[in-house]
Amino acid sequence: MIRDSTSARRDMVEHQLRRRGIRDERVLEAMAAIPREDFVPGRPAAYGDEPIQIGHGQTISQPYMTALMAAVLELRGSETVLEVGAGCGYAAAVLGQLARRVVTIEIVPELAALARDNLRRTGLDKNVTVVQGDGSGGYPKLAPYDAISVAAAAPDIPPALLDQLNDPGRLVIPVGSWLDQDLQVLVKRGGRIDTHVATGCRFVPLRGEEGWR
């Protein structure tokens, strides 16, 4: 099983990530090291090129999207990162390999508990804190954040997240309708915010006061 999962991760990195343009070696190494099958139900599908249902109307993103969102944050290891939408904890585990500290917030209590358990069981919780609550307004208690990653689609960029983003800082978030979004990357630098679109995407809706009601 260990040899098979290691091979599956290697194939995932080569075929789904590197060949599609993911070039950040730290991201590729993190994705190659973390046992994705320990975070999702239905382990045979853990390395498929698609999102996986994890219950409560939520999903774990396809590996490429997890890698792309991590890569556009351009983490170097010293950052404090906020993730909105912990899900099963996998993306937070990846971010935890790339940054000094990760705070991941999840609105669904059962998923917050699942993420916390998964991270603890895999030993990947040393620098990752799971918070249960409405992440559409960020988590001001520990702000500001050098990077923010939002794993759910918003109708607009929540102002609270921009307020909690450090300067300089980077924010990645899917923005659009319920059905289709653009993965937007916002870079705050010198009081100015520049935005570009990394790709088209489709995420579950962001729930909460500053998301979809």
On the question of pLDDT at 2 being above 50, the answer is no
Residues catalogued as catalytic: 61
Q: State pLDDT tens for residues 164-207.
A: 999 999 999 999 998 899 999 999 999 999 999 999 999 999 99
The neighbouring-strand residues paired with 98 are none
| Stronger pLDDT, 3 or 88, i.e. the higher one | 88
DSSP β-ladder status, 101-106 and 80-84:
parallel
Domain of 71: which CATH number?
A: 3.40.50.150
Q: State pLDDT tens for residues 62-83.
A: 999 999 999 999 999 999 999 9
Q: Is residue 97 part of a domain?
A: yes
Q: Is residue 177 part of a domain?
A: yes
- Residue 138 near residue 164 (C-beta atoms within 8 A): yes
Q: Is residue 154 part of a domain?
A: yes
Q: Residue 135 belongs to what domain range?
A: 50-201
CA distance 168 to 191: 8
On the question of pLDDT at 150 being above 90, the answer is yes
Q: State pLDDT tens for residues 124-148.
A: 999 999 999 999 999 999 999 999 9
Q: Is residue 171 part of a domain?
A: yes
Share of the chain above pLDDT 90, in %: 89
Helix (H) or strand (E) holding 11: helix 2-11
| Domain count within the chain | 1
Q: State pLDDT tens for residues 121-130.
A: 999 999 999 9
Of how many residues is the chain composed? Answer: 213
Q: Is residue 153 part of a domain?
A: yes
Q: Is residue 67 part of a domain?
A: yes
Averaged pLDDT score across all residues of the chain: 95
Q: Is residue 179 part of a domain?
A: yes
Q: Is residue 15 part of a domain?
A: no
